[in-house]
Amino acid sequence: MKVGLPQALLHYKYYHLWETFFNELGVETVLSPASNKQILNAGVKSAPSEICLPVKIFLGHVKALKDVDKIFVPRVVSVEKGAYTCPKILGLPDIVRGTEGLPPVLAPTIDFTKGKIHFAKAIYNLGAQFSSSPLKIFKAYQAGTKALKRHELKKQEDGLSKTGGLKIGIVSHPYNIYDSFISLDLLKKIKKEDVSIQTSESLDKKIIEDETSSLPKELFWTYEKEVVGTALHWLKTGKVDGIIYLLSFACGPDSLAQVLIEDFAQQYQDVPLMSLVIDEHSAEAGLLTRLEAFLDMIKRRKKIESNHRPDGLSANYARGSVQAA
Amino acid sequence: MGSLQIMLEDLFRRLEVDYVFPPRSSSQALSLGAAISPELACLPLKITLGNMIQGLRAGADTIVMMGGWGPCRFGYYSQIQKIVLKRAGYKFKMLTVEPPSRGLSHFTSPFKFLAPGISTRALWNIVRRSFQKGRAVDLIEKACLQNHCYVTEKNKLAQLKKQTLYLIDRAESKNEINEALRVGLKTIDSLKTEDKQPVLKIGIVGEFYLLLEPFVNFDIENYLGSKGVYLERSVYMSDWISPSGKNVVGGHRQKEIEKLADPFLSQWVGGEGQVTIGHTISFAKRDFDGVIHLLPFTCMPELIAQSILPAVQRQYDIPILTLVVDEQTGRAGVVTRLEAFIDLLLARKNEMLLRN
C-alpha cells in the first residue's frame, strides 16, 4: 500500500506527524515533488480561476501523485475549540474527489469542535485501515506527535538562535513562506542580505493566543490567529526591525486580516510593515525591487536612529510603513 | 433586500427605536463602499459598507450589523467595517447582533442597548412576530418568482406583489399578517393562465446576498421570468435566519440538503456552499433544464461549491452556468451570457425531444 502526501498547504504544518504515523504502521509514503511550473499549471487547469494560489498548487501536487494507491487529504475542520481552519481546507477532500482521474482519497475528519473523543476515533479509524492492533495505532500516533514536537521545537530554536544583522519578521501561512515556488524564493533572497528571519513558529503559542484574545472579537480562523497575533506582538514589542506580510491574492481570511494588521501598524509606528500580495503571475524582479527598497529603508533608519539626533527630526523622517500591493 | 427591510423596520418600530434605512443598494452605494474597502474582500462587504456610509450621511449615529461565528468571512464583517469607517473619519457606534449559538446574550445585548429595560421575554416575542413577517414576505416572493412564467400580465403581478408587501408591512398582529399573506397568495395564484407553459425550468443557486439583492444580481430573476422561464431559488432570507426551522421556504430542510450533498460535499463549509450543491442536485433530480450559480468574487464557500459542481454536472448531466460578480461586472456581459445559456438549453431540450 502506497499513500501519497501532497507537499502543499498543511503539509508544512503536520507533515512530520503523518509521515511518522504511516511509516510506523508499515505504510509506504510518497511525497509529491517540490512545487514547480508543471505542478502549478496542472493545478491551474483543474481549479476555478478565482481560487487562491495555495489551493491551485495543492491540486497540482495531488495530480503529480498519480501512481499511488491512495492520496492522503485530511479534512482539517478545526484544531482547537471555537475556531475553524479555512473553508477551503474544510472542503479540500471534496474538491480533490471532484477532480477526474485520481486515485481514491484518504480523508479522516479532524474536528476539535466535536471534542477530543471525536479526534481519537478519527485517528483510530484511519489507523485501522492499515493495522488491526489498537495498541500499534496508538503507538504510531504517539511517535508521530513526538516527531512533530521535535520539529516544532527545532523551528523555535532556529528562530531564537539567530543574531546579528537586521531582524526581519515574516508573517504569513507556512505554506506561503516555505514553498519557495510560491514565495518566489523570498527566504533565500532575504538571507543573502545578512538578515536573520523570524516567523510565527519562533513565538510561544501562548503569546499569540494572548495577543489575539485582546481583539474586540476573537478571530474564528486558527491559522489567521497565528498571522495576526504574530504581527501584533512584533508591532507592539518591536522585537524585529521590520515585518513582511506575505499574502496570496484571493485568500479570504487574509483579506480581512490585512485590515487588522495594517490598522495596528498605524497605531504602532515603530516597526515598518510591508504587505506583499502574490499570485501565479507574480514576477521575481518586482518582488526583489520591493524587498531591496524595504531593507534599505530599514538599514538607513537604523543608522539615523543610532546617530541620536536630539531634534528627533531624522527619526521621524525615517519612520513610516511602506505599503505595496 | 426588500424582505429584510420589512422585517427589520417592523422590529425597530416595535422596539420603539428611531431608525433610518439607507436608500436601496445602488451603484452609488457600491462605489462609496468599494472606495475604502479592503481590495480583496468580497462584494457584500463592499456594498454593505456603502449602505452604512449612506445611512451615516442620512443622520444615523449607530449601525446595527449581523455577525457570525465563521468560517465564512461574513461573521467578521462588522469588525472590519468598523475599523475602515473609523479610519475614514466617521463617528458612530457599531452594534453587532451575533447568532445565539455561543450564548444568548450575544444576540440580545444589542437590542437591550437600543431599547433599555426590555425583558428577554418581551424581546423574544417581538423578534418572533417580526420574523413571522419576514417569512410571510419570503412566501410572497417565492410565489411571485415561481408563478412569473405562468402569468401573462406581468405588470399586474408586480403591482400585486407591491400591494401585498405593503399590507404585510402594515399588519400588526399575528392574524393580520396571516390574513394578508393568505389573500396575497390566493390572488397571485388567480393570475395564472392555465394554457401557458414555461419555456424552460431553471434553478438559481449561490451565495445569499447575491441571490437576494436584485441590484447585485442584475435582477436576473425578472429577466429570466420575462423570457418565460420557470424559476426556483435555493436561498430565502428567513431560512437563513433560522436554518433548521420547520416549514422551510426554500423547499429543503438543512438535513435534506446535507443528505443530498453528501456524495459530493459531506462537510458544512460555511455560507451556502453545501446548500448550493444540495439544491443543484435537487434541481437535477426534478428534471430542471439548467442551473445558474451566482457567487461574489473570492467567496470562499461558493468557490468550494464551484470546484465541485463540474462533478455534479457530469453525474447528473445538467448544464450549469457560473456567474462571478464583483464591482467591475457589467450588466451587458451578464445578459449576453444568460441569453447564450438560454439558447443552449433550448437547443438541448429540442434535441432531447427529437431523440425520444
Examine the domain organization and report whether A16 and A96 are in the same domain. Answer: yes
Average pLDDT rounded to a whole number, residues B309-325: 95
Examine the domain organization and report whether A116 and A203 are in the same domain. Answer: no
Given this model, what pLDDT does residue A82 score?
85
Q: What is the CATH number of the domain that holds A168?
A: 3.40.50
Q: Where in chain B is the domain with CATH 3.40.50?
A: 198-356
CB contact under 8 A, A87 and B270: yes
Q: Which of A131, A153, A175 is the endpoint of a domain?
A: A153
Q: Which residues of A touch B303 (CB under 8 A)?
A: 48, 50-51, 88
Given this model, what pLDDT does residue A310 score?
53
CB contact under 8 A, B298 and A86: no
A:B CB pairs within 8 Å: 123
Domain presence at residue A324: no
Closest CA to A324 of A283, A280, A294, A284: A294
Examine the domain organization and report whether A122 and A241 are in the same domain. Answer: no
- The predicted complex's ipTM stands at 0.89
Examine the domain organization and report whether A123 and A193 are in the same domain. Answer: no
Residue span of the structural domain in which A292 resides: 162-318
Alpha-carbon span A224 to A230, nearest angstrom = 10
Confidence of residue B245 (pLDDT cuts 50, 70, 90): low
Alpha-carbon span A304 to B138, nearest angstrom = 65
Domain count, chain A: 2
Given this model, what pLDDT does residue A289 score?
93
Of A75, A109, A250, Cβ closest to residue B40 = A250
Whole-model pTM: value is: 0.91
Examine the domain organization and report whether A120 and A256 are in the same domain. Answer: no
Examine the domain organization and report whether A63 and A134 are in the same domain. Answer: yes
Q: Which residues of B touch A75 (CB under 8 A)?
A: 267
Confidence of residue B120 (pLDDT cuts 50, 70, 90): very high
Examine the domain organization and report whether A172 and A270 are in the same domain. Answer: yes
Say if A138 is an interface residue toward chain B (CB within 8 Å).
no
Domain presence at residue A325: no
Say if B79 is an interface residue toward chain A (CB within 8 Å).
yes
CB contact under 8 A, A85 and B71: yes
Examine the domain organization and report whether A142 and A218 are in the same domain. Answer: no
Tens digits of pLDDT across chain A (325 residues): 899 999 999 999 999 999 999 999 999 999 999 999 999 999 999 888 889 999 999 999 999 998 899 999 999 999 998 899 999 999 999 999 988 889 999 999 999 989 899 999 999 999 999 999 999 999 999 999 999 999 988 888 876 666 668 899 999 999 999 999 999 989 888 888 888 888 998 888 899 999 999 999 999 999 999 999 999 999 999 999 999 999 999 899 999 999 999 999 999 988 999 999 998 888 889 999 999 999 999 999 888 877 765 554 544 444 444 444 4
For B117-137, b/e burial (b = at least 16 CB within 10 A) is eeeeeebeebbebbbbbbbbb
Say if B145 is an interface residue toward chain A (CB within 8 Å).
no
Q: Which of A120, A153, A186 is the endpoint of a domain?
A: A153
CB contact under 8 A, A50 and B303: yes
- Nearest C-alpha in B relative to A99: B311
Examine the domain organization and report whether A144 and A197 are in the same domain. Answer: no
CB contact under 8 A, B271 and A260: no
Alpha-carbon span B81 to B65, nearest angstrom = 10
Measure B49 CA to nearest chain A CA, in Å.
Answer: 14
- Nearest C-alpha in A relative to B325: A50
Which residues, other chains included, contact B352 with Cβ-Cβ below 8 Å and sequence gap of 6+?
Answer: none
CB contact under 8 A, B69 and A220: yes
Whether the pLDDT of residue B6 is over 50: the answer is yes
Domain presence at residue A202: yes
CB contact under 8 A, A51 and B303: yes
| Fold of the CATH domain B198-356 | Rossmann fold (3.40.50)
Question: Residue A1 carries which DSSP code?
Answer: -
Measure B89 CA to nearest chain A CA, in Å.
Answer: 14
CB contact under 8 A, B71 and A221: yes
CB contact under 8 A, A325 and B39: yes
Cell of B328: 467591475
Examine the domain organization and report whether A143 and A11 are in the same domain. Answer: yes
CB contact under 8 A, A254 and B311: no
Of B41, B71, B84, Cβ closest to residue A255 = B41
Q: Which residues of B touch A246 (CB under 8 A)?
A: none
Domain presence at residue A141: yes
Examine the domain organization and report whether A167 and A280 are in the same domain. Answer: yes
